[in-house]
Amino acid sequence: MPELSSAENSELVQRLLNSRLLHTDWVLYFLLALFVIGAFVVAWKIAYFVLNAVRSRALKSKVDGLVRGSPLDAFMADVQELPGIEAGVLRQALAFSDNGADVVEQQMDVELARSKQRMELGLTFLGTVGANAPFVGLYGTVGGIVKAFRDLSAETEAGLSSVISGIAEALVATAIGLIVAIPAVVAYNYLQKQVKKTVSASQGLNKQVLFRLRAAEETD
């Protein structure tokens, strides 16, 4: 592969400098938009899990009563009225109770997998922002530094102070990128923990209900 001559290399660099590829004035606005959207997603998901935790208390009480010996038919009727993720899993699975406990268990697994997908809605965005916002900020910084040196070559009277001022402004993009990324990563990890916690709680309740269903089948 032939190497580029010095003149050709210089021409290529000039074309890149004059192209819009290194025009990074949009970076700060883009990062600000990511921050606002991320804050909305975090607030929405936290409210979602807090509300579900409150709703699940009523279900846990009903399941405890079922294990102690309350009528199975009454429990199934109560589940139809209860809100929440765990109640939704039981409601969909118990619709197949006439087919036996094994079928109910399979439906519990299917419905819990669907519920987990719904719980994770929005988390991919937070993870992507957390992983890539620093690089977007760095891109803005590189573009700003290039612009600062290009301005220096065009305005010799401004001198070193122009370059320093331009670089300082460019570094703001990296700082903003980190400000956007760090809360996104923290929120992502926290919300993933809430998903696992909810899935674990639902699995525990499912096992208790299955125990009672199997006990009823053995009695019959």
Residue 220 has pLDDT above 90, yes or no: no
Query: For residue 115, what are the contacts with CB-CB under 8 A and spacing of at least 6?
Result: 85, 88, 89, 199, 202
Evaluate whether 160 touches 199 at the Cβ level (below 8 Å).
Answer: no
Predicted local distance difference test score (pLDDT) of residue 1: 44
Distance CA 1, CA 206 (A): 65
Residue of 57 and 220 predicted with greater confidence = 57
How many angstroms separate the CA atoms of 210 and 98, rounded?
Answer: 13
- 69: alpha, beta or left, given left = phi > 0 and alpha = psi -120 to 50? left
Q: Which of 18-32, 46-60, 163-177 holds the top average pLDDT?
A: 46-60
CA atoms of 145 and 173, how far apart (whole Å): 11
Distance of CA 42 to the CA centre of its chain: 8
Q: Alpha-carbon distance 22 to 143, whole Å?
A: 5
Residue type, 24: T
**Alpha-carbon span 183 to 127, nearest angstrom:** 10
Q: Point out the least confidently predicted range of 65-69, 88-92, 131-135, 194-198.
A: 65-69
What average pLDDT does the structure give for the chain?
Answer: 85
pTM of model > 0.85: no
Q: What is the pLDDT of residue 200?
A: 95
| Boundaries of every domain in the chain | 22-219
Do the Cβ atoms of 179 and 34 come closer than 8 Å?
no
Instruction: Identify the pLDDT of residue 6.
Output: 54
Residue 18 to residues 23, 78, 137, 171, 188, Cα–Cα distance (Å): 9, 69, 21, 21, 39
> What's the rounded Cα separation, in Å, for the pair 21 and 25?
11
* pLDDT at residue 216 tops 50: yes
